[in-house]
Amino acid sequence: MLTSCDISSLVIDSLCDQAGGQDVAVACFYFDFAAQKEQSPTSVLGVLLKQVVGGLDEVPGEIVRAYENQKKVIGGRGPRLSDIVGMLQTTTSKKRTFICIDALDECVAGHQAKLLGSLSQILQKSPGTRIFVTGRPHIEAEISKRLTGRVTSVSITPRRDDIISYLRARLDEDITPDAMDSSLEADILKKIPDDISEMCVWLPILGRIP
């Protein structure tokens, strides 16, 4: 109902709306357990850079040169992580950049540390860059360790309004609308959010009872 993907896509859309007309870049990546192999730090940071560069009128000379150099050796080599980080440091220093990373906990642990280390290097050169990350609560310690003193954390739990929006959307999709009347609909929109709010309050407490 309210997933980290929903939150990420909402934030990305809102940043893109704000960016319209201004000189701002928005780059995003969604991690996925099912595709861990392809999601190395180099390709993930590479795709962030790709999105920033895609919004520029011209590919920066530094990147063209790196591309030409790598094409000459062993029939064309991919970019190196250190090159990508360097290029991101340069581009994000020149243009205000928002980086959004969804479900960081779905990234392989070793890769996660490398990725966070690289983000920290980018922030050192370009402290105005904004980084948005979602993930399960257990990765917060790792994020705080790698990006010391730069992290604010918010808990994502569905609010009453979220539950109502969700129920409204589901009721709209009802394929047997004849079975629904307005008083039943009103009852659902009142009763379920109340019950869920109570469950949200009580579940953690019940969980502590031995």
Partner 1 sequence: MSQSFSNNINSLNTFNTFNAADHRPNILAWLSPLEPRLRHQDIQESRVEDIGEWLLQTEEFRSWCAGSGGDESDSAVLFCRGDPGAGKTYIR
Binding mask 156-175 for partner 1 (x = CB under 8 A): xxxx-xxx-xxx-xx-----
d(CA 134, CA 199): 24
Q: How far apart are the first and last CA of the chain?
A: 30
d(CA 7, CA 79): 31
CB of 130 to partner 1, least distance (A): 6
Choose between 53 and 210: whose C-beta lies nearer to partner 1. Answer: 53
Which residues from 2-41 bind partner 1, rule CB under 8 A?
A: 2-15, 18, 28-30, 32, 38-39
Choose between 57 and 210: whose C-beta lies nearer to partner 1. Answer: 57
Q: Which of 55, 130, 185, 189 binds partner 1 (CB under 8 A)?
A: 130
Beta bridge partners of 97: 25
Q: Which of 25, 81, 85, 123 binds partner 1 (CB under 8 A)?
A: 123
Identify the burial level of 82 via C-beta atoms within 10 angstroms of its C-beta, where 0-12 means exposed, 13-18 middle and 19 or more buried: exposed
How wide is the angle at C-alpha 86 spanned by C-alphas 48 and 61, nearest 5°? 85
Does 184 bind partner 1 (CB under 8 A)? Our answer is: no
